Amino acid sequence: MPALRPHPHFDDRGTLDWHSNWSSALQQAAREGKLVFIEFGREACSQCRALVQSVVPRPEIAPLLQQGFVALAADCDDPEPEVEALAMQVPEASMLPFVIFADARGRYLAGSSGAVSPRAFEATLRQLRAGPA
């Protein structure tokens, strides 16, 4: 099994294999039948750090991400156009990080901005994994 690519800024304790390129994340999601989880933030953002270091590795969250999602660390200071377009769809987006979910074709599914509540994040992951109601 290949080594995991670490998050470019924060230590998630080896939880996820982080892409830093939209097209490679999308290709893997399509190949593996997964959704895409995008952490859209910057290195200087304390809430971005909290998401990656304190929420992602939680025992109730990490397996959901590992089983159903491909992770993309997207830099809001140098965004890829496709990620920036998805970020524009996040309701009431005003604070980093933007947490964005897309399907393997790049279509927006859900998103939020600002501090991430572990409970709400877990609920969103479960809802997205379950598919449309």
- Residue 43 CA to residue 75 CA, distance in Å, equals 8
CATH code, 18-130: 3.40.30.10
pLDDT for 124: 97
Residue 94, both tokens: 């005003």
What's the burial of 2, exposed, middle or buried (CB within 10 Å: 0-12/13-18/19+)? exposed
Residue 1 pLDDT > 90 = no
- The 10s digit of each residue's pLDDT in 23-40 is 999 999 999 999 999 999
